[in-house]
Structure 1
Amino acid sequence: MKKIYLSLLLLQILFLPKGIAQKVIVFKGDNTVIGQNVSILEDTSKQLDFNSARKSSGFIQSLTQVPNLQLSTSVFWLRFTIKNESPENQLLLSLEYPTLDECEFYYPVKGIYNTETLSDNNSFEKRKYKHQDFLFDINIPKDSIATFYLKVRSNEQMVLPLELGTPQKIAETKLTRDMLWGILVGILLVMILYNTFVFISTKDISYLYYVLYAFFIALTQTSLSGYTYRFIFPNSPVMFNMGIIIFNSLAGIAFSLFAQSFLAIKERMPIMSKLFKLIILLYALTIIVRLLGYAHVSYRMTDVSALIVTVSIYIVIIRLSLKGYRPAKFFLFAWTMFFTGVVLFVLRNLGILPYNSYTNYTMPIGAAFEVILLSLALADRINIFKAEKEKSQEETLKVLQENEKIIREQNVVLELKVNERTHELSESNQELNITLENLKQTQTQLVESEKMASLGQLTAGIAHEINNPINFVTSNINPLKRDIEMVLNALTVIENVSTSDVPTADKLKQIKEYKEQLDFDYLTTEIRHLIKGINEGATRTAEIVKGLRFFSRLDEDDLKKADINEGLESTMVIANNLLNNKIKIIKEFGDLPKVECYPGKLNQAFLNIISNAVYAIQERFENNAGGEITIITNHDKKDVYIRIKDNGIGMDANTQKKVFEPFFTTKDVGEGTGLGMSIAYNIVKKHNGIINVNSSQGEGTEFILQIPINFTDN
């Protein structure tokens, strides 16, 4: 049976078309890379079963030591024939590429092909051999020959390093590889931990970006080699598959941020800084695309991003190096080491370089060297900062020594000048005392002037308010006098008619005609209207006098319980002449309890604030309408609040700080003494109250007075 099987297999090889003649792999006991002895069939339809693929004439001989199937959605069939000339009956086939989504191995048993399936989409624990690489048993007796098939598919680029060997030697190779990877990962971890501590100490954001880059580049490299599948995600193959793209993209983002910070790209090359922001965005989109399940697209986006990053970083570091920027030189050397490792790795995959223990680790070794060199670059930057600091300290010391010399020389001169100035100050002190006394007298005069100004304003307000109703009365007197004389004359005429001898009917007719002549009905109506006007004028005059009494409270010099709303009303009576019928008054008075206070003084404070509001409105609107003063009162359990708000020119921050200072005024010379708001402030303070101001230029000002309901001495 064995001879028949071998004969059939030999016939199959002999009758293969000449272009696709299958090369025989002769195994003599040492590990053998078999890539150039493999025939490859691409199934773009992904519909071929084993028998169809086996009979297909589309197999093409691999030309490279490591078949590189690129990034493709097709299914690939690999065929190879082995002749065992070693004393071992059991061999192992190692496929050192752990990121295949599907790998089916077809092997003959007594002329019938069996299949074994491995995939990185399945749990790691289900594997016979606890290793991330794909390992398949090949049972072939000595001096026997057999043909085997592999069916592979992946969402990632497929590079297939196939190695044939005995279980012991394959295990030794894997162990050596694991040890090397352990050393590389250890180096990366040391760099990560060291620079993490440095970041905690220095708070330099460059170290944080470096740590993140080193961390994610380590995860990327270990994911590509399957170690994250083996040790981190053994039961989460989905996480492992996504991690290859996600870790790589996060490494790209961290690297872009690190490069910008470490090389100060934003300050030195602003245009390139914008490009790096676009790179970060592209990497972020790559992560999103991978999470959405578009694996092939995400791989292409990763390739594009990596190409842009490589070109961009070389442009930056070469230009900065030519300008003599030392950190860029370190960066150039480190990045070149990593880039060289990547290039060597790609050349190995393309078959230009041989597949061996050296070329297998060019990319991770390049990454490790890059991380180490970047760490040294960061350390060198600390040395640069230290040297700059020492130089700065040295320059500072020189300046201090020079200053000390100058100070010693100046001290001699200063002593002489101090003696001279002491004598001058003694004389000036006497003059200042005289000036201070004069200032006190001037201040007293100004306060009296402000009082007189307030009294003048009060007098003008009273005269204006009383003048209107009095004019109303006086204007009605003459017409009323005339109408009364006409009534008296009418009474005389009617009396004469009534005593005449004419008949009664004639008397009535004469009286009626006379009344019509006088328009007697209109006359009586006019008399009533004039009397009503006189009455209203007299009543208004009485109200004004009453308001004046409430405003001045001349009979109440002591603390009294007073109605704040009533005080505000009386104040508005006095200030009414300032409004010129152009300024609208809005009153929103709350139901207030009576307040223990000095009513007359509070009314003076109200008048000063309202006068300032009128001035501010006139400055903004001039003589036009549009000005408004809003007065709002309310209270809580302890205090009464009075808000007086205008829509005048407002105040800037500097004016608000000085508004309550004595003699401070924004009015022109001769228009104000600068004491009005100071007096109002002192009146509120005397009541143990608070006065605040809110103002915006061009919008208006609001004064908020907070007066305690019950007066208490401090």
Structure 2
Amino acid sequence: TSEHLIYYLETARPITDEVELYLTDQTGKTVKQKSGDKIPFLNRVLDHRKTIFKLNLNAGDKVNAYMSLKSDGEVISLPLVLRSSENLLRTTYFEQLIFGVFYGILILAFITYLFFFIALGDWVFFYYGCYVIFIALMQFSLDGYFYQYFASSGGWFSQRAVIIFAAISRIFLGKYGEVFLNIKKYIEKIFYAFRMVYGLLGLLLLSLLFTPSFLKFTYPLANIFGLAILALIVLSLVYFNIKKLPGDKFFGIGIFFLFLGFLKIKYLVFNSVYSCSRKFYRSAITGI
């Protein structure tokens, strides 16, 4: 560069545990910057929910950058976005607006369903409202806001917030589908299958307390149990259709699209992991 520049390097997911950036200049001097949600928020290079590093480049500087990432089970991704100060500010303001609307809608939905539950005493509204709010909390954690505003110390709960909210949301989704379709009355075997999945999700949550080394397995297991919950609901709908039992077609349509969305997300995640693995091995063998 011919002039002094300040850029911001955005990388990794907000929930990545540890991200370290090493900058080595022409003299061989190395400067280390650290980010990630395992360290206190105030110790980050930049007070931002995302993993962002500050690059201070003097005129004529040539810098080599190296990065180290650590995760305790979450998928690691490595986007590299270089932003100017103005671009970072604009992007942050825009994202705050979009996320504010998104989370506002989910909170409004939770309050609405809670009101219906109190007014009508129907547990379907309670279970669905709880499902919505825990999905919101899970996404809030994935986006880095929970760490920034509620668990900024980077401690135990910060490291496990995503999996806790994910597991609880799956339990409430199952209870919603089970009660709405009155599974206990019509399909006793599937009713007990729901109970078994709830028990497994409960054990998963207990493992966070008593077996910390099991944490890396909880993420794929939570996804498997979530898929099992959806599969049980879909099987119930198929059974209702075959036996001509009373059901709600709009509920079925909603679950169908939820199921497709779940499969699409899992496909993209596993495909990304597979692609990264192939690139890693190719790089290790060929140097490309």
Q: Give the TM-score category using the shorter length.
A: 0.7 to 0.9
AA matched with 2:229: V
Q: Tell me how far apart the structure 1 counterparts of residues 4 and 226 of structure 2 sit (CA, whole Å).
A: 46
Secondary structure of the residue that 1:94 maps to in structure 2?
strand
Q: Which residue of 2 aligns with 1:334?
A: 254
* Deviation, structure 1 residue 348: 5.2
Q: Classify 1:117/1:338 alpha carbon distance in 2 versus 1 (closer, same or farther; 3 Å).
A: same
Where do 1:6-21 residues align within 5 Å? Answer: none
AA matched with 2:18: E
Question: Is the aligned partner of 1:298 residue 2:235?
Answer: no
AA matched with 1:130: D
Question: Is the aligned partner of 1:92 residue 2:8?
Answer: yes
Picking from 105, 110, 116, the partner of 1:187 is 105
Output the aligned Cα RMSD.
Answer: 2.5
Residues 41-70 of structure 1 deviation map (CA, whole Å, 9 limit, x = unaligned): xxxxxxxxxxxxxxxxxxxxxxxxxxxxxx
Q: Which residue of 1 aligns with 2:71?
A: 154
AA matched with 1:148: A
AA matched with 1:277: R
* Deviation, structure 1 residue 180: 1.4
* Deviation, structure 1 residue 153: 0.6
Q: Tell me how far apart the structure 2 counterparts of residues 161 and 340 of structure 1 sit (CA, whole Å).
A: 26
Q: Which residue of 2 aligns with 1:223?
A: 141
Question: Is the aligned partner of 1:132 residue 2:49?
Answer: yes
Q: Which residue of 2 aligns with 1:101?
A: 17
Where do 1:438-453 residues align within 5 Å? Answer: none
* Deviation, structure 1 residue 181: 1.4
* Deviation, structure 1 residue 244: 1.1
Picking from 236, 254, 259, the partner of 2:177 is 259
Question: Is the aligned partner of 1:280 residue 2:280?
Answer: no
Q: Which residue of 1 aligns with 2:278?
A: none
Where do 1:352-501 residues align within 5 Å? Answer: none
Q: TM-score, normalised by structure 1?
A: 0.35
> Contact (CA 8 Å) 2:117, 2:125: kept in 1 or not?
yes
> Contact (CA 8 Å) 1:88, 1:141: kept in 2 or not?
yes
Secondary structure of the residue that 2:39 maps to in structure 1?
coil
Where do 1:41-190 residues align within 5 Å? Answer: 89-110=5-26, 111-140=28-57, 146-155=63-72, 156-190=74-108
Picking from 155, 179, 187, the partner of 1:237 is 155
Picking from 224, 227, 240, the partner of 1:320 is 240
| Uncovered stretches (5+) of structure 1, i.e. residues with no partner | 1-83, 353-714
Q: Tell me how far apart the structure 2 counterparts of residues 318 and 98 of structure 1 sit (CA, whole Å).
A: 39
Q: Classify 1:263/1:101 alpha carbon distance in 2 versus 1 (closer, same or farther; 3 Å).
A: same
> Contact (CA 8 Å) 2:181, 2:247: kept in 1 or not?
no
Structure having the higher Rg: 1
* Deviation, structure 1 residue 162: 2.6
> Contact (CA 8 Å) 2:25, 2:64: kept in 1 or not?
no
Q: TM-score, normalised by structure 2?
A: 0.83
Aligned length: 267
Q: Which residue of 1 aligns with 2:166?
A: 248
Q: Classify 1:150/1:287 alpha carbon distance in 2 versus 1 (closer, same or farther; 3 Å).
A: same
> Contact (CA 8 Å) 2:7, 2:84: kept in 1 or not?
yes
AA matched with 2:33: E
Q: Tell me how far apart the structure 1 counterparts of residues 4 and 228 of structure 2 sit (CA, whole Å).
A: 51
Q: Classify 1:92/1:336 alpha carbon distance in 2 versus 1 (closer, same or farther; 3 Å).
A: farther
> Contact (CA 8 Å) 1:103, 1:151: kept in 2 or not?
yes
Picking from 97, 114, 121, the partner of 1:203 is 121
Q: Classify 1:99/1:325 alpha carbon distance in 2 versus 1 (closer, same or farther; 3 Å).
A: same
Q: Tell me how far apart the structure 2 counterparts of residues 273 and 143 of structure 1 sit (CA, whole Å).
A: 69
AA matched with 2:168: L
> Contact (CA 8 Å) 1:88, 1:166: kept in 2 or not?
no
AA matched with 1:248: A
Residues 15-61 of structure 1 deviation map (CA, whole Å, 9 limit, x = unaligned): xxxxxxxxxxxxxxxxxxxxxxxxxxxxxxxxxxxxxxxxxxxxxxx
Q: Which residue of 1 aligns with 2:280?
A: none
Residues 52-93 of structure 1 deviation map (CA, whole Å, 9 limit, x = unaligned): xxxxxxxxxxxxxxxxxxxxxxxxxxxxxxxx69x7721111
* Deviation, structure 1 residue 164: 1.7
> Contact (CA 8 Å) 1:272, 1:312: kept in 2 or not?
yes
AA matched with 1:159: S
Q: Which residue of 1 aligns with 2:286?
A: none
Q: Classify 1:318/1:138 alpha carbon distance in 2 versus 1 (closer, same or farther; 3 Å).
A: farther
Q: Classify 1:138/1:332 alpha carbon distance in 2 versus 1 (closer, same or farther; 3 Å).
A: farther
* Deviation, structure 1 residue 344: 4.7
* Deviation, structure 1 residue 343: 4.5
* Deviation, structure 1 residue 275: 0.8
Where do 1:558-569 residues align within 5 Å? Answer: none
The share of aligned pairs that are identical, in percent, is 24
Q: Tell me how far apart the structure 1 counterparts of residues 147 and 115 of structure 2 sit (CA, whole Å).
A: 29
AA matched with 2:133: F
> Contact (CA 8 Å) 1:229, 1:237: kept in 2 or not?
no
> Contact (CA 8 Å) 1:242, 1:291: kept in 2 or not?
no
Q: Which residue of 2 aligns with 1:310?
A: 230
Q: Classify 1:168/1:181 alpha carbon distance in 2 versus 1 (closer, same or farther; 3 Å).
A: same
* Deviation, structure 1 residue 215: 1.4
Q: Tell me how far apart the structure 1 counterparts of residues 272 and 108 of structure 2 sit (CA, whole Å).
A: 34
* Deviation, structure 1 residue 216: 1.0
Q: Classify 1:335/1:241 alpha carbon distance in 2 versus 1 (closer, same or farther; 3 Å).
A: farther
> Contact (CA 8 Å) 1:92, 1:170: kept in 2 or not?
yes
> Contact (CA 8 Å) 2:23, 2:65: kept in 1 or not?
yes
Q: Classify 1:314/1:146 alpha carbon distance in 2 versus 1 (closer, same or farther; 3 Å).
A: farther
> Contact (CA 8 Å) 1:93, 1:164: kept in 2 or not?
yes
Q: Tell me how far apart the structure 2 counterparts of residues 339 and 280 of structure 1 sit (CA, whole Å).
A: 19
AA matched with 1:154: S
* Deviation, structure 1 residue 324: 6.8
AA matched with 1:258: Y
> Contact (CA 8 Å) 2:138, 2:162: kept in 1 or not?
yes
Q: Classify 1:102/1:351 alpha carbon distance in 2 versus 1 (closer, same or farther; 3 Å).
A: closer
Q: Tell me how far apart the structure 2 counterparts of residues 106 and 336 of structure 1 sit (CA, whole Å).
A: 47
Secondary structure of the residue that 1:160 maps to in structure 2?
coil
Q: Tell me how far apart the structure 2 counterparts of residues 271 and 193 of structure 1 sit (CA, whole Å).
A: 34
Q: Which residue of 2 aligns with 1:614?
A: none
* Deviation, structure 1 residue 126: 2.6
Q: Tell me how far apart the structure 1 counterparts of residues 167 and 272 of structure 2 sit (CA, whole Å).
A: 27
Q: Tell me how far apart the structure 1 counterparts of residues 22 and 198 of structure 2 sit (CA, whole Å).
A: 44
> Contact (CA 8 Å) 1:245, 1:290: kept in 2 or not?
no
AA matched with 2:7: L
Q: Tell me how far apart the structure 1 counterparts of residues 61 and 251 of structure 2 sit (CA, whole Å).
A: 56
Q: Which residue of 2 aligns with 1:212?
A: 130
> Contact (CA 8 Å) 1:104, 1:118: kept in 2 or not?
yes
AA matched with 2:10: S
